[in-house]
């Protein structure tokens, strides 16, 4: 059997959830596609383009619910699309340069989001977060470094417990962190123990809806009901231009074994006839979101389409 290419290995790792979170997935995919270009033995620009299209399609299909992945792959491919008459060596150099530009863009976007997010949080406030988002981590760590005293509540985030990772990371950075079970969030918010609810983002639609880790919707509902501010930290590359024609974002269903915890437990559910269902994300409507914290500042859901259109080519 032929050895797997880097892009095939990365696609497999994304599918197997060895690489998680929108930014990490997009970065790994861009690097894999750039590596495919570097290694390509294509004799013409057309051949190079078709090799890269196959690799990009395979990478994008590894997580169909991540527009950031598709948008950045498309940015990289645009270099070849617009210069098909060029020689292969010149195109490879352009692709390598574009990869560097994209990675630098990702870094500077997250730094700007951290700045705007840290500004938005008031000193002495309590913040509840859900799941693990590298973007959120950068906001909270910067706010802390700037001397804002925050009390952070992290949900565990079932079934894969990414919230525990967030709790550990923030505590190691010196923040005041408390871990709660997911279902405690509503009660904490209704008891007015929370001023801000912060989420990451996997996808944003043209209608200003947020697709994020399952559980986001019910936390946002409780926050809106009890007056806590709801923000989602999101690079504008998380916007999905394909939703402009009215298309709905799909919700990824994951392996039900995540829910069953163990093989004996799986057998037990099967035996007693209980079905399992494991949607990994949910959709929060725009009326529950105060703003997206983007690299361009805080943007209301009604303005997100316009803001994103200035940043992505798709
Ligand atoms: C991760 C998740 C994160 C977003 C944003 O889900 O929902 O909130 O991906 O992360 P999963 P980031 O672990 O299932 O991929 O800010 O790092 O892009």
pTM of the entire predicted model: 0.93
Decide: 224 in ligand 1 pocket, CB within 6 A. Answer: no
What is the structure's pLDDT at 243?
94
Q: In this structure, which residue's CA is closest to atom 9 in ligand 1?
A: 21
Q: Ligand 1 center to residue 310 CA distance, Å?
A: 23
- Beta strand spans in the chain (E): 126-129, 151-155, 176-180, 196-199, 203-204, 210-213, 229-233, 281-284, 291-294, 297-299
Mutate to test the pocket of ligand 1, among 13, 18, 21 (most ligand atoms within 8 A of CB): 21
Index of the ligand 1 atom closest to the CA of residue 281: 7
Sign of the C-alpha dihedral computed for residues 251, 253, 258 and 260 taken in this order: positive
Is beta strand 203-204 parallel, antiparallel or unpaired with respect to 210-213?
antiparallel
What is the structure's pLDDT at 80?
86
Cβ neighbours around 266 below 10 Å, total: 15
Q: Which two tokens stand for residue 274?
A: 């209980």
Cis peptide before 159 (omega within 30 of 0): yes
Q: Which two tokens stand for residue 174?
A: 């010196």
Helices (H), 132-190: 134-145, 162-172, 185-190
What is the structure's pLDDT at 5?
85
Decide: 280 in ligand 1 pocket, CB within 6 A. Answer: yes
Is beta strand 176-180 parallel, antiparallel or unpaired with respect to 151-155?
parallel
Residue 39 CA to residue 189 CA, distance in Å, equals 52
Decide: 14 in ligand 1 pocket, CB within 6 A. Answer: no
What is the structure's pLDDT at 211?
97
Return all residues near 2 (Cβ < 8 A) that are at least 6 apart: none
Residues known to be catalytic: 131, 202
Residue 193 CA to residue 177 CA, distance in Å, equals 14
Query: pLDDT means per 10 residues in the chain (314 residues)?
Result: 84 94 96 94 89 94 93 93 79 94 96 98 98 97 98 97 97 98 98 96 97 98 98 97 89 90 86 94 98 98 94 71
Residue 46 CA to residue 23 CA, distance in Å, equals 30
Q: For tokens 């105060």, what's the residue?
A: 290
Q: In this structure, which residue's CA is closest to atom 1 in ligand 1?
A: 21
């Amino acid at each position: 059997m032929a050895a797997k290419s880097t892009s095939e290995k990365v696609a497999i790792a994304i599918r197997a959830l060895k690489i998680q979170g929108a930014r990490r997935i997009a970065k790994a995919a861009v690097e894999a596609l750039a590596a495919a270009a570097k290694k390509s033995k294509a004799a013409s620009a057309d051949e190079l383009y078709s090799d890269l299209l196959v690799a990009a399609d395979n990478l994008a299909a590894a997580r169909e619910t991540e527009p950031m992945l598709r948008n950045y792959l498309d940015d990289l491919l645009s270099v070849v699309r617009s210069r098909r008459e060029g020689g292969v060596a010149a195109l490879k150099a352009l692709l390598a340069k574009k990869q560097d530009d994209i990675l630098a863009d990702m870094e500077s976007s997250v730094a700007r989001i951290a700045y705007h997010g840290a500004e938005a949080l008031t000193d002495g406030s309590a913040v509840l977060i859900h799941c693990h988002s590298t973007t959120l981590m950068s906001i909270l760590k910067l706010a802390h470094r700037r001397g804002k005293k925050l009390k952070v509540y992290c949900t565990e985030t079932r079934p894969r417990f990414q919230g525990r990772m967030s709790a550990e990371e923030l505590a190691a950075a010196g923040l005041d962190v408390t871990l709660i079970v997911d279902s405690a969030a509503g009660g904490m918010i209704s008891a007015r123990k929370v001023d801000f609810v912060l989420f990451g983002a996997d996808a944003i639609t043209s209608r200003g809806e947020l697709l994020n880790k399952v559980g986001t919707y019910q936390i946002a509902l409780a926050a809106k009901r009890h007056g806590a501010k709801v923000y989602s930290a999101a690079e504008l590359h998380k916007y999905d231009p394909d939703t402009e024609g009215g298309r709905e974002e799909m919700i990824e269903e994951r392996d039900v074994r995540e829910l069953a915890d163990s093989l004996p437990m799986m057998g037990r559910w099967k035996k007693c006839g209980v079905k399992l269902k494991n949607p990994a994300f949910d959709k929060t409507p725009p009326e529950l979101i105060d703003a997206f914290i983007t690299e361009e500042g805080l943007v209301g859901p009604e303005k997100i389409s316009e803001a994103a259109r200035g940043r992505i080519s798709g």
